[in-house]
Structures are given as C-alpha cells and as structure tokens.
Amino acid sequence: MLTPSSNTALEPLTVRMLGDLHHISVHFGRFNMAGPSSSGAALTSCDTEEIVAAASLLSHAKCDVIAWSGTSSGWIGFSAEEALRAEIERVTTARACTSVLALNEVLRATHVRTLGLVTPYLDDVQAHIIADYQSIGIDVVSEFHFRLQDGFSIAEVEKNALADAVRGVAQARPDAIVTACANLPAAPLIEELETELGIPCYDTIQTAVWKSLVLCEEAPTQIIGWGSLFRNVTPLLAVA
C-alpha cells in the first residue's frame, strides 16, 4: 500500500481490515505529497515520480500487489490514474491497482448512476471530482466536503461529524454513497451506516483492499464487518 507521508488513518485501518487473514501480510510505502489544493497546478498534476519510487522500494519485498491507496485522480482525472497504475506495473514485478480505479469498477459492477459523495476537500477539488464522475455517466446528486487542505488534519475529523455528513447526503437517496480520501477515518463506520440507511456505502480505503485481494486471487468475503463491498460486489475485471 502506497500512502502520502502525512497520512495517519490508512495504515492502521488497513491492518485492522486484514487482521483475521493471517496468511496475508500488508506492507506500506510513504512518499512526499502536498495536501489537496485548489491551485491550478495541484488540480492537474500528481507526484507520479514520488509514487513510482515508493512502489519500486516496496517491490524489493516481493509484494504480489502494489496499491496506490489515495484519491488524487478524483481531481486530476481518471486517465492519469490509469497511466500511474501502468507505470507502477512497468517498474515493479507486482500487479498494481488504485483506490479510485477500484471504486470505479465497484460503481460499474453495482450499476450506480447516482452518487452521494463525502470528502474532506476544498470547493474546487470537490467540483473537479463531481465533474469527473459526471464524465463517466455518474451524477453526484448530493455531496458534503469539510473544506480541509492540510493532509494531517483530515484524519482528525470526528466520527460523529463523518456519520452526520453521510446521513446528510443519504437524504437524496442516491444509488450509493462514497467516502473518498485515504486519510478520512470513515471505513469503521460503513457497516453500521449501511444498516441504518439502507444504501451501499463505499470507502476508498476499502476499495484498495478489495481490489488488492482480488488481484491476489483471495476472496474479499474473508473480510467480515467492514461493509457490503466485501460481501456483495463481484469484480468486473478478470485476473489475467
């Protein structure tokens, strides 16, 4: 798993998700990455070289899968994420996946056309994410963003505030709700919120784990208590 250097949520949550799968080990690589910004440069670029360098170091551990567990493609465009995934596979011996591409696969597999979106981001970043989903035929019909820029502060969003944000976007009754950001500690809330709201909820830390398991030819159903994603979603993309 690749993560920005300021992230404090991704590692412990990923370890907790995989905690009962004793035959699987998870390893992490950090790199320097600025927080999501509304500046023009930050909205159109990503620290690809830093990410690929971190992936190269993880490949020394002979990981079967290397996942970019981050959401920058939500605002720089999905094609950039595809290029990054391909570059990671080119420079390592591992299969590669990303949170956002995995999320998009989940949304296609579950025929989502309307989406509720909760993020920590600034106004311009949120607008880019909404536009990107509209470009692939998914309408964000309700959204909430905490307007945070500092990467470290995102993990400090309180769970009650997160749950209330999800409940708020649920009022529009979207096909699914997404909590997007690898430093947003929403994943432990998903199971309970799905039961309460009757709407599938997908978190981007979840989706990186889900797709990594698929690429390892491990059943996602082995993960219990972390939401319907692991129980109900069949991957669209076959393992070659």
Chain segment 187-239, per-residue pLDDT in tens: 999 999 999 999 999 999 999 999 999 999 999 999 999 999 999 999 886 54
Q: Is residue 27 included in any domain, yes or no?
A: yes
pLDDT at 20 over 50: yes
User: How much is the average pLDDT of 68-74?
Assistant: 78
Structural domain contains residue 157: yes
Record the pTM.
0.92
Q: Quote the CA–CA distance of 71 and 90 in Å, as a whole number.
A: 21
114 within domain boundaries = yes
CATH number (domain holding residue 74): 3.40.50.12500
Residue 237 falls inside a structural domain: no
Q: What is the mean pLDDT of residues 165-170?
A: 98
Q: Where are the alpha helices (DSSP H) in the chain?
A: 10-17, 40-44, 48-59, 73-76, 78-91, 99-109, 123-135, 151-154, 159-170, 190-197, 204-215, 228-232
Q: Please tell me the total count of domains within the chain.
A: 1
> Which structural domain range is residue 40 located in?
2-232
